[in-house]
Amino acid sequence: MGIDQVQLNFNETTTLVMNILIGFIMFGVALDLTPKDFKRTLKTPKSFIIGLTAQFLLLPALTFVLVTILDPRPSIALGMFLVAACPGGNLSNFLTHLAKGRTSLSISMSAVSTAFAIFLTPLNTIFWGSLYGPTNELLRSFTISPLDMLFAIFILLGIPLTLGMYINHSKPEWSRKASKHMKQFSIAFFILFVIGALASNFTYFIDFVGMVVIAVFLHNLLAICIGYFSARTFGLPEIDRRAIAIEIGIQNSGLGLILVFNFFGGLGGMAIVAAWWSIWHIIAGLTLAGFWSRRVPKEGGQQA
């Protein structure tokens, strides 16, 4: 059986637990957010606009180019389009701080891109997937309502984001203490999430992961380069380049994995791309952040 025919098996209970877990992770991220993080974007609109454009326009468009060049199996290509359409991941703020990037820009981008993703993730996934012939045929085999996907993403991202920000505003002391613990366990939660997704389908993962390793490596490298060099092209300082590069390179592939099981029947190539991206971007992000952590940005120090 080929990767395009494989459908990873998930029962309703496991899917529900995964939905709750990703919501819990997003809630933890939101405990650090305030309305000021959104207002801060108005003070540095150039960096924010470049970052958001790289996130939701350049990455999906250049993913289309990469898919055209690599010509992977249709389900792998659709998985790449889905991951490219997701917002920044929950580890990007920590990695930006470690990399001596502008943490405030990373936080602002994470907050606003997560809110925008409610609309742009389904739009980009379906648009680019429909534009590419092999994935367009694959999309026709599923009954996918953009409004249903939008509603599901709102439940997964919008509600935890709103609730976390409300608690941060109404109970700042509790939020500060809880956020500290959530940061300590965020990677563990994320790994648990991925393990849960693969536990009953590990044989398929082992059989097919080799088919996506190169594609995910190139895709992730492309995302990081898009962020860094788009910022460099428009003359942003090094601390902003690092923040945007990490923000674009650390995608919320956990959200992508949930959407694969909720809307695409656990389609093999899509699920394995999202799962391997979830593992790989931690490795790549920590490596890049560790490299930059030993090099002070030339244009000045970090502004948190």
Residue 294 phi/psi, 5-degree rounding, is -95, 5
Q: What is the mean pLDDT of residues 41-58?
A: 86
Query: pLDDT tens digits, residue range 98-139?
Result: 898 987 788 778 878 888 888 899 899 999 999 999 999 888
- Rounded Cα distance, 243 and 102, in Å: 6
- Rounded Cα distance, 76 and 273, in Å: 6
Residue 82: name the closest of 130, 112, 122 by CA.
Answer: 122
Asked whether the predicted pLDDT for residue 22 surpasses 80, the reply is no
Query: pLDDT tens digits, residue range 263-304?
Result: 887 787 888 898 888 888 888 999 999 999 998 887 644 444
Residue 195 lies in a domain: yes
Residue 64 lies in a domain: yes
More confident of the two residues 229 and 30: 229
DSSP 239-256: HHHHHHHHHHHSB-HHHH
Q: Tokens at residue 142, please?
A: 């599923």
**Number of domains, the chain:** 1
The total of other beta-carbon atoms located within 10 Å of residue 280's CB is 17
Residue 288 lies in a domain: yes
Domain enclosing residue 63, as ranges: 12-293
Residue 5 lies in a domain: no
Query: pLDDT tens digits, residue range 30-47?
Result: 777 777 666 666 676 888
- CATH code for the domain of 77: 1.20.1530.20
Residue 222 lies in a domain: yes
Residue 72 lies in a domain: yes
Q: What is the pLDDT of residue 303?
A: 45
- Check if the beta carbon of residue 220 is closer than 8 Å to that of residue 38: no
Residue 240 lies in a domain: yes
Residue 300 lies in a domain: no
- CA atoms 106, 263, 159, 196: torsion sign: negative
Q: What is the pLDDT of residue 81?
A: 96
